């Protein structure tokens, strides 16, 4: 399989890169304020530079909530998270600094429907990174070419297919030149024939050495691209292993049960 | 994009021909069968014919339309001094020229600026100005303005095609036109001063309505955001403002402005009565507008703000680039509805003695020469208001169509 050699490539590049810690989460707890539901019950995870971590788990396990704490879209009540060496606290300055370095791709794309594709991609670089418009547009066009939708730059998101929209969303996040990319079920809202084009984009991103945390149910992607796969269930991190070990030799019953349901 | 032509498996099978229905058949089928439909049709048509006949008889035999042309200057400008009328004509020309240029620039990519509909509209306007029993000078002025409009539009399109970036300056230019207008009407800076008590007629109506509309919109946006705010004091203040204003009838606010403020404030400190009217209208409309816009804000999915946050946009940027444009777009019909009511609500000022379009009509009718001509005058008033409100509603439809590109 072509994916097999790809995995090797990534592992090779990872051996070269230093093991700088990009995300460190320690004993993160979160309760939903409304009903005191304990959604994260002490989750710890370390992601090093250039690493691709896939988070799997049944729905309601808290996996989306967990990665959304990394860029402060969700608050947490107990524990510690630091991203790119910056401690995530209630300090708004820290939150802004972290969000600049962390790109996020959502399940529902969340493109801005009233702006063209190009405007979607250039808005944040111009207003947050303070880039000149021409410069931001040049970068945006490069990124759009990379994700294969250069010719759609002047269109509005509503005129694109789901797969194209998600690729625009990836380009939009990349335009901020983030150090980390978070993917929150990026292919779950797509028609089956469009999943591949988005996964291919993510795959090439991983090949370039981007640090990525992906919540996804795509087993093929996890097997071929991930450096590590973790399983979350009931607000806990149950299993953490290399993809090979995770899928072929799971240690925990919860993982076995989960895999038996999805494979 | 490639278009796919489906292969017709049976070349002889063409789509069923559209069945042509003659008008008579349509009437027979939809209005006259079964018998009770025919009965209802006849009753309704009868009522309309009777009313229409009565109106025509009145309009062409009994009504004395001379009251309109004889007082046209009053309807237009109230008790504005006649020796300063030229200023209003200059203002009107400026407005017409800028409308033409703006239209030309906005429509710079349209191949035929003067489409059939536009030409018909211009022709109708010219024709009406000839038919109406108004002084020749007015007729010539209207024709002149129409020609000016066409020329300016033609020129605007030429300029707009050369300099596509010009579109963004239209709004600021209109603001300048507004200031020039206020100067031309009010005088000062070298022109004879005309106090607001002499302003009146349609001019005053349009003036008050446009200023109030321009002011109530940003205030409404601020209160809409305030009501959604997480800061308790801001939220409380916004809710109080909106609920108190919405609990008071407009006429009460206007009375307070015209009658009560003079009681509280000494002679020199009283704001001008037109200004008081504008403040009253603005305060009132902004509360309703705030609620309209809040409706739009609630329609924005949470993912939009989350995506903006994730990109590092701070709350002010998120609101002004992501949330507000979408929220306002979602409620344009309601907002324009509010503007139209505001325009019509200016008529309430006639009760407190401001001589706007309706108020000046009461003065005209008080003239012994035109006693009992209220039907003619009120009909003329209605037509005047309809023209402006219909224009606003058409404008809103146009804006909606332009903004609806993403679907």
- B37 or A179, greater pLDDT: A179
What's the mean per-residue pLDDT of chain B?
Answer: 86
Q: How far apart are CA A75 and CA B343, in angstroms?
A: 48
Most confident by average pLDDT, A71-75, B170-174, B220-224:
B220-224
End-to-end CA distance of chain B: 18
A54-81 pLDDT, tens digit per residue, is 999 998 899 999 999 999 999 888 899 9
CB contact under 8 A, B303 and A108: yes
B329–A contact, CB cutoff 8 A: yes
What DSSP character marks residue B11? T
Q: Which of B305, B307, B405 should we substitute to test contact with A (largest number of A Cβ atoms within 10 Å)?
A: B307
Buried b (16+ CB within 10 A) or exposed e, B152-191: bbeebbeebeeeeebeeebeeebeebeeebeebbbbeeee
Assign A180 a pLDDT band (cuts: 50, 70, 90).
very high
Assign A232 a pLDDT band (cuts: 50, 70, 90).
very high
Find all residues with CB under 8 Å of A233, minimum gap 6, and list them. A57, A58, A61, A254, A258
Chain B residues lying within 8 Å of A73, measured CB to CB = 306, 309-310
pLDDT for position A14: 47
> Is the pLDDT score of B224 beyond 90?
yes
Q: How far apart are CA A12 and CA A229, in angstroms?
A: 18
Residue owning tokens 């109230």:
B78
Which stretch of A84-98, A223-237, B194-208, B344-358 has the lowest confidence by average pLDDT? A84-98
pLDDT for position A6: 46
Q: How far apart are CA A229 and CA A217, in angstroms?
A: 11
What's the whole-number mean pLDDT along residues B353-366? 89
Find all residues with CB under 8 Å of B316, minimum gap 6, and list them. none
What's the whole-number mean pLDDT along residues A8-12? 46
- Determine the angle formed by the axes of helices B201-228 and B232-246, rounding to 10 degrees: 140
Portion of chain A with pLDDT greater than 70, in percent: 93
CB contact under 8 A, B312 and A99: yes
B321–A contact, CB cutoff 8 A: yes
DSSP-assigned beta bridge partners for residue A102: A180
Closest CA of chain B from A123, distance in Å: 9
SS3 A255: helix
Which stretch of A225-234, A237-246, B31-40, B266-275 has the lowest confidence by average pLDDT? B266-275
| A78-83 β-sheet, strand order | A38-48, A21-31, A78-83, A86-87
Assign B10 a pLDDT band (cuts: 50, 70, 90).
low
DSSP-assigned beta bridge partners for residue A30: A40
CB contact under 8 A, A112 and B304: yes
Task: Specify the DSSP element, H or E, that contains A175.
Answer: none
Most confident by average pLDDT, A210-224, B58-72, B111-125:
A210-224
Chain A residues lying within 8 Å of B322, measured CB to CB = 112
Q: How far apart are CA B383 and CA B199, in angstroms?
A: 21
> Is the pLDDT score of B51 beyond 80?
yes
> Is the pLDDT score of A120 beyond 70?
yes
- Give the other-Cβ count within 10 Å of A148's Cβ: 15
Structural domain spans, chain B: 23-62, 81-193, 196-407
What DSSP character marks residue B71? T
The CATH H-level (homologous superfamily) assignment of domain B196-407 is MetI-like (1.10.3720.10)
Q: How far apart are CA B207 and CA B278, in angstroms?
A: 9
Which stretch of B165-174, B221-230, B357-366 has the lowest confidence by average pLDDT? B165-174
Decide if B227 contacts B242 (C-beta within 8 A).
Answer: yes
B316–A contact, CB cutoff 8 A: no
Q: How far apart are CA A75 and CA B278, in angstroms?
A: 46
pLDDT for position B247: 94
pLDDT for position B271: 75
pLDDT for position A10: 46
B122-149 pLDDT, tens digit per residue, is 888 888 888 777 778 888 888 899 999 9
Q: Which of A96, A112, A158 sits opposite B312 (nearest CB)?
A: A96
Q: How far apart are CA A99 and CA A119, in angstroms?
A: 19
| DSSP notation for A44-91 | EEEEETT-EEEEE--TTSSHHHHHHHTTTSS--SEEEEEETTEE--S-
Closest CA of chain B from A15, distance in Å: 30
Q: How far apart are CA B137 and CA B124, in angstroms?
A: 19
Chain A residues lying within 8 Å of B296, measured CB to CB = none
B82-95 pLDDT, tens digit per residue, is 888 888 889 999 99
A103–B contact, CB cutoff 8 A: yes
B173-184 pLDDT, tens digit per residue, is 888 998 899 898
> Is the pLDDT score of B326 beyond 50?
yes
Decide if A180 contacts A104 (C-beta within 8 A).
Answer: no
CA A260 to chain CA centroid, nearest Å = 25
What's the whole-number mean pLDDT along residues B265-294? 87
> Is the pLDDT score of B18 beyond 50?
yes
Q: Which of A104, A127, A173 sits opposite B317 (nearest CB)?
A: A127
DSSP-assigned beta bridge partners for residue A38: A31
> Is the pLDDT score of A3 beyond 70?
no
A82: phi then psi, degrees, rounded to nearest 5:
-130, 140
Find all residues with CB under 8 Å of B217, minimum gap 6, and list them. B286, B289, B335
Find all residues with CB under 8 Å of A175, minimum gap 6, and list them. A121, A122, A124, A125, A136, A139, A140, A143
pLDDT for position B106: 81
What's the whole-number mean pLDDT along residues B54-67? 88
Chain B residues lying within 8 Å of A123, measured CB to CB = 311, 313, 321
CB within 8 Å of chain B, chain A residues 18-57: none
pLDDT for position A117: 95
Closest CA of chain B from A206, distance in Å: 20
- Helical H segments across B58-84, by residue range: 67-70, 72-77
Which stretch of A10-19, A214-223, B119-128, B318-327 has the lowest confidence by average pLDDT? A10-19
CB within 8 Å of chain A, chain B residues 286-315: 301, 303-304, 306-314
pLDDT for position B236: 96
Q: Which of A75, A110, A116, A158 should we substitute to test contact with B (largest number of B Cβ atoms within 10 Å)?
A: A110
Which stretch of B40-44, B102-106, B197-201, B258-262 has the lowest confidence by average pLDDT? B258-262
Which residue of A lies nearest to B304 if distances are taken between CA atoms?
Answer: A110
Q: How far apart are CA B162 and CA B1, in angstroms?
A: 30
Assign A132 a pLDDT band (cuts: 50, 70, 90).
very high
- B398 or B54, greater pLDDT: B54
| A236-241 β-sheet, strand order | A102-105, A180-184, A211-215, A52-56, A228-233, A236-241
Q: Which of A33, A74, A102, A114 should we substitute to test contact with B (largest number of B Cβ atoms within 10 Å)?
A: A114
Tallying the residues shown for chain A, one arrives at 263
What's the whole-number mean pLDDT along residues B76-80? 87
Which ipTM value was assigned to this complex?
Answer: 0.87
- Determine the angle formed by the axes of helices A133-146 and A117-127, rounding to 10 degrees: 130
End-to-end CA distance of chain A: 18
DSSP-assigned beta bridge partners for residue A214: A54, A183
Portion of chain A with pLDDT greater than 90, in percent: 70
pLDDT for position A240: 92
Q: Which of B301, B310, B406 sits opposite A114 (nearest CB)?
A: B406
| DSSP notation for B237-299 | HHHHHHHHHHTS-HHHHHHIIIIIHHHHS-GGGPPPHHHHHHHHHHHHHHHHHHHHHHHHHHT
Chain A residues lying within 8 Å of B325, measured CB to CB = 114
Q: Which of B1, B165, B300, B312 should we substitute to test contact with A (largest number of A Cβ atoms within 10 Å)?
A: B312
Angle at B99 between CA B190 and CA B71, to 5 degrees: 65
pLDDT for position A55: 95
Half-sphere exposure of B79 (CA within 13 A, CB side): 10
Assign A12 a pLDDT band (cuts: 50, 70, 90).
very low
Most confident by average pLDDT, A87-96, A177-186, B171-180:
A177-186
Closest CA of chain A from B321, distance in Å: 9
Q: How far apart are CA B313 and CA A127, in angstroms?
A: 8
Q: Which of A106, A108, A123 sits opposite B321 (nearest CB)?
A: A123
CB contact under 8 A, A73 and B306: yes
SS3 B52: helix
Portion of chain B with pLDDT greater than 70, in percent: 95
pLDDT for position A13: 47
pLDDT for position B5: 55
CA B256 to chain CA centroid, nearest Å = 26
pLDDT for position B407: 47
A110–B contact, CB cutoff 8 A: yes
Encoding tokens for residue B146? 């129409």
A31: phi then psi, degrees, rounded to nearest 5:
-115, 140
CB contact under 8 A, A100 and B322: no
């Amino acid at each position: 399989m072509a994916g097999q050699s790809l995995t090797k490539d990534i592992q090779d590049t990872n051996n070269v890169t230093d093991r700088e810690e990009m995300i460190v989460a320690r004993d993160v707890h979160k309760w939903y304020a409304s009903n005191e539901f304990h959604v994260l019950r002490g989750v710890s995870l370390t992601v090093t530079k250039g690493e691709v971590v896939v988070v799997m788990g049944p729905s309601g396990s808290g996996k989306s909530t967990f990665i959304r704490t990394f860029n402060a879209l969700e608050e947490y009540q107990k524990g510690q998270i630091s991203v790119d060496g910056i401690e995530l606290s209630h300090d708004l300055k820290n939150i802004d600094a972290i969000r600049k370095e962390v790109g996020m791709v959502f399940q529902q794309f969340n493109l801005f429907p009233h702006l063209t594709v190009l405007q979607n991609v250039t808005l944040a670089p111009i207003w947050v990174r303070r880039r000149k418009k021409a410069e931001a547009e040049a970068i945006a066009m490069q990124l759009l070419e990379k994700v294969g939708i250069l010719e759609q730059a002047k269109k509005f998101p509503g005129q694109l297919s789901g797969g194209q929209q998600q690729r625009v969303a990836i380009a939009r996040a990349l335009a901020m030149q983030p150090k980390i990319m978070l993917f929150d079920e990026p292919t779950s809202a797509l028609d089956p024939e469009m999943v591949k084009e988005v996964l291919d984009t993510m795959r090439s991103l991983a090949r370039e050495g981007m640090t990525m945390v992906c919540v996804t149910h795509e087993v093929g992607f996890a097997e071929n691209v991930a450096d590590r796969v973790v399983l979350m269930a009931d607000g806990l991190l149950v299993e953490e292993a290399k993809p090979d070990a995770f899928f072929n030799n799971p240690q925990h019953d919860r993982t076995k049960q989960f895999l038996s349901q999805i494979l | 994009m490639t278009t796919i032509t489906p292969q017709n498996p049976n070349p002889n099978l063409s789509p069923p021909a559209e069945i042509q229905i003659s008008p008579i058949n349509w009437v027979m089928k939809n209005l006259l069968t079964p018998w009770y439909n025919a009965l209802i049709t006849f009753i309704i048509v009868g009522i309309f014919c009777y009313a229409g006949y009565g109106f025509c008889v009145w309009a062409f035999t009994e009504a004395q339309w001379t009251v309109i042309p004889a007082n046209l200057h009053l309807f237009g400008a109230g008790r504005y001094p006649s020796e300063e009328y030229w200023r209003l004509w200059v203002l009107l020309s400026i407005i017409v020229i800028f409308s033409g240029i703006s239209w030309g620039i906005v429509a710079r990519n349209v191949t035929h600026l003067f489409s059939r509909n536009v030409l018909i509209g211009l022709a109708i306007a010219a024709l009406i100005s000839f038919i109406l029993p108004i002084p020749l000078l007015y007729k010539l002025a209207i024709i002149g303005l129409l020609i000016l409009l066409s020329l300016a539009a033609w020129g605007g399109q030429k300029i707009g095609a050369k300099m596509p970036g010009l579109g963004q300056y239209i709004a600021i230019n209109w603001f300048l036109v507004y200031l020039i207008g206020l100067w031309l009407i009010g005088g000062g800076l070298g022109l004879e001063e005309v106090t607001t008590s002499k302003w009146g007629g349609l001019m005053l109506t349009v003036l008050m309505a446009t200023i109030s509309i321009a002011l109530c919109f940003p205030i409404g946006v601020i209160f809409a955001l305030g009501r959604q705010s997480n800061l308790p004091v801001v939220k409380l203040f916004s809710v109080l403002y909106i609920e108190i204003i919405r609990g008071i009838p407009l006429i009460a606010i206007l009375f307070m402005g015209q009658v009560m403020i003079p009681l509280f404030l000494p002679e020199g400190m009283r704001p001008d009565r037109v200004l008081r009217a504008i403040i009253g209208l603005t305060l009132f409309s902004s509360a309703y507008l705030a609620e309209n816009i809040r409706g739009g804000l609630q329609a924005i999915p949470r993912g939009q703000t989350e995506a903006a946050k994730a990109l590092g946009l701070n709350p002010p940027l998120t609101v002004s680039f992501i949330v507000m444009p979408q929220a306002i777009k979602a409620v344009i019909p309601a907002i324009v509805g509010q503007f139209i009511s505001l325009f019509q609500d200016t008529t309430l000022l006639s009760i407190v003695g401001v001589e706007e379009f309706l108020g000046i009509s009461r003065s005209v009718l008080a003239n012994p020469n035109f006693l009992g001509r209220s039907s003619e005058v009120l009909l003329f008033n209605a037509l005047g208001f309809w023209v402006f409100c219909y224009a606003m509603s058409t404008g809103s439809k146009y804006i909606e169509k332009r903004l609806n590109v993403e679907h």
